[in-house]
Amino acid sequence: MEVLLRAERLTHVYETRGGEQLRALDCVDLEIGAGEFVAIVGRNGSGKSTLAKHFNALLLPTEGRVLVAGLDTAVPEHLWTVRQMVGMVFQNPDNQIVATTVEEDVAFGPENLGLPPAEIAVRVEEALQAVDMEAYRKHAPHHLSGGQKQRVAIAGVIAMRPRCIVLDEPTAMLDPGGRREVLSTIGRLNREEGHTVVLITHFMEEAAQAGRVVVMEGGRIVLQGPPRQVFQETERLRALHLDIPPVTQLAGRLRAAGWPVPGDALTVEELVEAIAGAWAGRGRGRVAEQGGKTVEQGRLL
Ligand code: ADP
Ligand code: MG
């Protein structure tokens, strides 16, 4: 697999106003492959946003280096290419709106690339389709819901044809409906359009949808792996002040109560299926085997 983003012993030190030095990233090594969907989690101040800003050269390393498709972000001649390859979406959708209609807003990036109008029109159309917002092209962005605004912001990034999209808590200001909209858009862009996605989030059920979860603490990566594996580390996550996804919590509690469901369930569908199976088994008075001990399911219900 081609490595698209690479941080090598990346250290970032901020000068604070009081003249003190704050080590926000401490020797971080991370590789993200083309086509991956990686979630970055960690409590406030753990260094997530600082790391994200290194991926499109909004910040440059104090020590170590960052490579985007092999290009060192600290080399001034690479800046333009790096910025075009890695698109950023931020938390507040209102701060990202630049125009008075949705289509003008999405066209803003490609216009700045100096593309001919016909090419811009094609890209705007494609991008609006990709986030399922074609019907709103003439609407005023300010009148859209939060979830729709974030989808327009994502379309604006896609219209630049980046290889990678980095989203820094894009759902933090949205209601649950808006969060679902944005997450399913991100998932589709990754699965169907081949975009590499880096999603910073404090919602563990969102992180659970990624292929890999990276956990940060104190400017370092302290845990990473597939969500199923990471979210089994309940004690460690608790010590890091992080939750586990609600579905995984429920699965764990059901298991502790003797239900034969997978303790590492990540999706509602998966858990519902397991419960339905257990329920059907109970009706026929079947007995389930779990972890070496035999449980009469009828007794559990
Ligand atoms: P996160 O996104 O995980 O909340 P950040 O990357 O924003 O973490 O911040 C990491 C650390 O760097 C925090 O201690 C934060 O206060 C500090 N920090 C972030 N931005 C600046 C800045 N511009 N100047 C000084 N310190 C900063
Ligand atoms: Mg942050």
pLDDT of residue 283: 55
Say what the pLDDT of residue 296 is.
44
| Mean pLDDT of the region 281-291 | 52
Return the H-helix or E-strand segment holding 277.
helix 268-283
Q: Which helix (H) or strand (E) holds 275?
A: helix 268-283
Share of the chain above pLDDT 90, in %: 79
CA of 67 to the centre of ligand 1 (A): 22
Nearest CA to ligand 1 atom 22: 14
Q: Is the CB of 50 under 6 A from ligand 1?
A: yes
Give the whole-number percent of the chain exceeding pLDDT 70.
93
pLDDT tens digits, 88-145:
999 998 998 999 999 999 999 999 989 999 999 999 999 999 999 999 999 999 999 9
Residue to mutate, 50, 90, 198, ligand 1, most ligand atoms under 8 Å from C-beta? 50
Q: Is 153 exposed, middle or buried (0-12, 13-18, 19+ CB in 10 A)?
A: buried
Confidence at 1, pLDDT banded by 50, 70, 90: confident
Backbone angle region of 256, left / alpha / beta, with phi > 0 → left and psi within -120 to 50 → alpha: alpha
H or E element in which residue 143 lies: none
DSSP state of 62: S
Amino acid identity at 86: V
Distance in angstroms (rounded) separating the CA atoms of residues 149 and 144: 6
Q: Is the CB of 90 under 6 A from ligand 1?
A: no
Report how far residue 17's alpha carbon sits from residue 133's, in angstroms, rounded to the nearest whole number.
43
The beta-strand segments (E) located in the chain are: 3-15, 21-33, 37-41, 63-68, 71-72, 86-89, 164-168, 196-200, 212-217, 220-225, 287-290, 293-296
Asked if pLDDT for residue 39 goes beyond 50, the answer is yes
Distance CA 208, CA 203 (A): 9
Q: Taking 80 as the threshold, does the pLDDT of residue 295 lie above it?
A: no
Per-residue confidence (pLDDT) for residue 294, from 0 to 100: 45
What is the arithmetic mean of pLDDT over 180-190?
A: 95
Q: pTM for this one?
A: 0.91
Q: Say what the pLDDT of residue 291 is.
A: 45
Alpha-carbon distance 34 to 37, whole Å? Answer: 9
Neighbours of 227 (CB within 10 A): 22
pLDDT at 259 over 90: no
Contact 61, 41 (CB under 8 A): no
Of 14, 16, 167, the one to substitute when testing ligand 1's pocket (max ligand atoms within 8 A of C-beta) is: 14
Per-chain mean pLDDT for the chain: 92
pLDDT band at 277, cuts 50/70/90?
confident
pLDDT tens sequence across 201-258: 999 999 999 999 999 999 999 999 999 999 999 999 999 999 999 899 899 899 989 8
Contacts of 180 (CB under 8 A, 6+ apart): 147
Walk me through the domains of the chain, giving residue ranges and CATH numbers: 36-62+79-231 (3.40.50.300), 246-296 (no CATH)
| Ligand nearest the Cα atom of residue 219 | 1
- Cα 222 to Cα 235: distance, rounded to the nearest angstrom: 13
